[in-house]
Structure 1
Amino acid sequence: AANYRTAEAVATHIGLFDDVLSSTAKHNLFSASKRDALVQRFTTFDYAGDSISDLPVWQAARQKILVNPSHQARKVQPADLLIEDRRPLHQALPRMLRLHHWVKNLLVFSPLLLAHRLNEDSVLSQTILAFFAFSLVASAIYIINDLLDLSADQTHPRKQNRPFAAGDIQLIQGIRLFPMLLLGALLISSFLPPTFSAILLLYLLLTTLYSLWIRRLFVWDVLMLTGLYTLRIIAGGAATHTPISIWLLAFSILFFLTLALVKRCTELQELSLSDTINTSCRERPYQPKHYSAFFQTGITIALGSSFILIGYLLSDKVLKLYQQPLYLWGILPLILYWFWRIWNRVKKGILHDDPIVFAVSDLQTYCIGLIVCLLVHLAS
């Protein structure tokens, strides 16, 4: 049922077909109409399809070939030949939703953690709702990103394995799921304070602007990524009416700014190594020549975040919240080591382009996190 322009473009690109039958503005070759056109042209034919709408065509065909069929088509039409090369939906769907990126939304818990309110059940339940609301919105935006980047992803050596680019999930499935995710997020936010809902809508607006426009702006895209991370922390405070420490905001801004620069540096390394990626990412405002400046700036900002941590440890607030604050000083060398390790991996060119994904899969990061938790517990 494809339009003749699309059908002829595909036929020209592949170069295997002698003739093309396709829909026009006056005649839609769909279901029974497609069957009639094929019977009139060929009399006897084999047919490969995937949809329940192809049932009339299969009934008239000599060989019924089902290619990655829908559940309804598989149930109704027995196949003479079944071809399935897509990943199962239960494997492709989590990758489309980027469930592993939901870890970023754990930032909504940070205001409670620093305010020592995690033991309050009602407050904790509100934060859990905030986590899922942000996660659903994030997954919806990832769907839009993948749809917008489809052509580029299909020529990228790594991103071509994303569900849409690889054909594991149909585009229409993603389009249908997008509003469902947003509605789910809005429904969850209705149980939280209006301020949180406003921040969630702001996050949706900013991420949409980022996808459509800001990611093409030099440096502004890095600042936007930093702001989106920090907005999660602000939302966590709004969901529970927990005041957010100025020290937390200052540290988070510098911390996530250096991680955003890590991401850009790894992308620039890929650009310098592959002409294919350079072509597919031509809308990005960066060139490999920017790598050195970003690398040095990222390390400087990482050190700056460490000075913010020192300022917090010297503040009167620490003396009020912790009985043994000296234990907290053990966090400083751990943070510095983690920064050194991640930037060292950038320098060697062995880091995934998303440092958060790296952190989630890195054993040493987990060990550092456990030691930090132990030090905080001892300080309390």
Structure 2
Amino acid sequence: MTDAQQARPLVLDVDGTLLRTDLLFEGFWAGLAKAPRATLGAALTHLGDRAALKAEIARVAALRLDLMPVTPSVARLIDEAKAEGREVILASASDEAQVRALAEQQGLSPRVFASDGQTNLKAGAKARTLVAEFGEGGFDYVGDSAADRAVWPHAHTAYVVGDAKAASELSAAGQPVVELEGGWTLRRLIKALRPHQWVKNVLLLLPLIASHRFDLATLVPILLGIVAFSAAASSIYIINDLLDLEADRRHPTKFKRPFASGDVPIPVGMAAFVALATLALGLGAALNPGFFGVVLFYMLLSLAYSLKLKRMRWVDIATLASLYTIRVVAGAAAGQVDVSIYMLIFIFPVFIALGCVKRLTELTLATGDERLPGRGYGRADRGDLLNVAGIGVVGALVIFFLYSVSDQGRVLYPDTWLLWLAMVPMGWWLIRMVALGWFGKQDYDPIVFALKDKLGLGILMITLSLMFWAAGLWAQWFGG
């Protein structure tokens, strides 16, 4: 390396370059999780002044910069530059206080260039500042976005992260260019939607099954309802992940989630939320007003859960059970099927038990005794969770028995003794789920686990078969 090369600093952008995320959006979502009123007030007050907005958001929401995902290719470049004795400098449109803290945390030069509450150091403003400091071609610059196109032509060497088109154009103009890995893919965004969770929406079929309405006029609207609920659920999963960025990064497995890991940019997630919410509410309105109201209520309750309720001990489990129960109500509304009050009273304690199983699993698999990140439970609560799960199991079986001797139960299921027999595999399934959660032998989501568990599915099929037998459906379908 020549003396001139060694003297030339390596200047790095932060958002999307050094970090696989954006500090302004990180601060906004962290603020919504911790101080929603102050955050929304700052956003509305300074919406037209980006520099002031960044300073205020940085003041409201302190970020764990040590948890931020770093771009591997840029990290390697930094190590190479340090080994060569070069100064590595951050130049970012993010707030100056955050950039200085990040430079210190990463062991980079204390000399930084950033937005200061008055000037938004982006694009042309950044280019002019760097040229004034180092001269034309007096620095190498690493960037990733359209805003960096104003800076690269003034650098000696342009390091381009994840933008092949910009790299090609700069090279064609005769500038030295080095391409670095970066960017995101649609596959990673789809992963953020958690499509494996859509299987939970088969709960919308329960009213159809319980009422024995096996006709296309009932089935088709419910299937459309499942699509709407899948879109609604995915939209809330995105919001939940954006609010939980710090907690997820501290979790033993959730740190790999697309937004926490930086695999998908936060603005892309926000756009996906809008599209999915629009699809869910649009389908809801197209089906019928009742179903639209259920979808809207589900989304609002889910949002409240993400913002506040999931951090409240026991309230979070009751809310989880309510969200599952709402799916059954949604199936009845979509197919315009009368749902028995006994069904709703029966499934709620079932989902209370499964909510406890979810927390038991997380606590059993946790690596320490401290409270779960973003939750109100620690290992000391495992006994209480087991007790509440047991109450849920017993409550569900008692309510099922009462339904079997009710007038409605006797009409739909004339062979009552077969319903009592069905309680045996039903109880087996519930107790087994609780036990698996206690020993940490299932997925973090019990519903998703249940729909992939072959033995559990077999037990459920036995239960369902006995219920069909009690209803006389086997004789009706197959004769005899």
Q: TM-score, normalised by structure 2?
A: 0.71
Per the alignment, residue 430 of structure 2 pairs with 339
1:38 alignment partner, one of 130, 134, 138: 130
Per the alignment, residue 100 of structure 1 pairs with 196
Per the alignment, residue 145 of structure 1 pairs with 240
CA distance in 1, matches of 2:409, 2:319: 30
Task: Give CA deviations for 1:125-166 in whole Å, capped at 9, x if unaligned.
Answer: 211222122222211211111111111111211110111110
Residues 16 and 306 of structure 1: CA distance in aligned 2, closer, same or farther (over 3 Å): same
Unaligned runs of 5+ in 2: 1-92, 474-480
CA distance in 2, matches of 1:362, 1:67: 43
1:82 alignment partner, one of 171, 179, 200: 179
Q: Who wins on radius of gyration, i.e. which is larger?
A: 2
Aligned-partner residue type, residue 197 of structure 1: F
Q: CA deviation at 1:92?
A: 1.7
Q: Which moved more, 1:310-319 or 1:170-179?
A: 310-319
**Per the alignment, in what secondary structure is the counterpart of residue 106 of structure 1?**
helix
CA distance in 2, matches of 1:250, 1:371: 22
Identity, % of aligned pairs?
35
- 1:221-260 alignment to 2 at 5 Å? 221-260=316-355
CA distance in 1, matches of 2:250, 2:412: 53
Aligned-partner residue type, residue 133 of structure 2: R
CA distance in 1, matches of 2:185, 2:462: 38
Per the alignment, residue 204 of structure 1 pairs with 299
Q: CA deviation at 1:37?
A: 2.4
Does the Cα contact within 8 Å between 1:52 and 1:72 map onto a contact in 2?
A: no
2:108 alignment partner, one of 10, 13, 16: 16
Per the alignment, residue 111 of structure 1 pairs with 207
**Per the alignment, in what secondary structure is the counterpart of residue 48 of structure 1?**
strand
Aligned-partner residue type, residue 34 of structure 1: K
CA distance in 1, matches of 2:323, 2:110: 52
Per the alignment, residue 148 of structure 2 pairs with 54
CA distance in 2, matches of 1:80, 1:4: 28
- Whether 1:158 aligns to 2:253 is yes
Q: CA deviation at 1:375?
A: 4.4
**Per the alignment, in what secondary structure is the counterpart of residue 142 of structure 2?**
strand
Residues 63 and 75 of structure 1: CA distance in aligned 2, closer, same or farther (over 3 Å): closer
CA distance in 2, matches of 1:22, 1:174: 26
Q: CA deviation at 1:336?
A: 2.2
2:159 alignment partner, one of 65, 86, 102: 65
Per the alignment, residue 353 of structure 1 pairs with 444
Residues 73 and 356 of structure 1: CA distance in aligned 2, closer, same or farther (over 3 Å): farther
Aligned-partner residue type, residue 141 of structure 1: I
Residues 323 and 83 of structure 1: CA distance in aligned 2, closer, same or farther (over 3 Å): farther
Does the Cα contact within 8 Å between 1:257 and 1:301 map onto a contact in 2?
A: yes
Q: Which moved more, 1:30-39 or 1:186-195?
A: 30-39
Residues 77 and 110 of structure 1: CA distance in aligned 2, closer, same or farther (over 3 Å): farther
Q: CA deviation at 1:330?
A: 5.4
Per the alignment, residue 186 of structure 1 pairs with 281
**Per the alignment, in what secondary structure is the counterpart of residue 22 of structure 1?**
strand
Task: Give CA deviations for 1:343-370 in whole Å, capped at 9, x if unaligned.
Answer: 2222322333321222233222333344
**Per the alignment, in what secondary structure is the counterpart of residue 17 of structure 1?**
coil
CA distance in 2, matches of 1:160, 1:268: 17
Unaligned runs of 5+ in 1: none
Residues 373 and 60 of structure 1: CA distance in aligned 2, closer, same or farther (over 3 Å): farther
CA distance in 2, matches of 1:63, 1:326: 81
Q: CA deviation at 1:75?
A: 7.2
Per the alignment, residue 266 of structure 1 pairs with 361
Aligned-partner residue type, residue 67 of structure 1: V
Does the Cα contact within 8 Å between 2:157 and 2:177 map onto a contact in 1?
A: yes
Q: TM-score, normalised by structure 1?
A: 0.88
RMSD: 2.7
Task: Give CA deviations for 1:75-116 in whole Å, capped at 9, x if unaligned.
Answer: 756694333367x52332222112111222221121112112
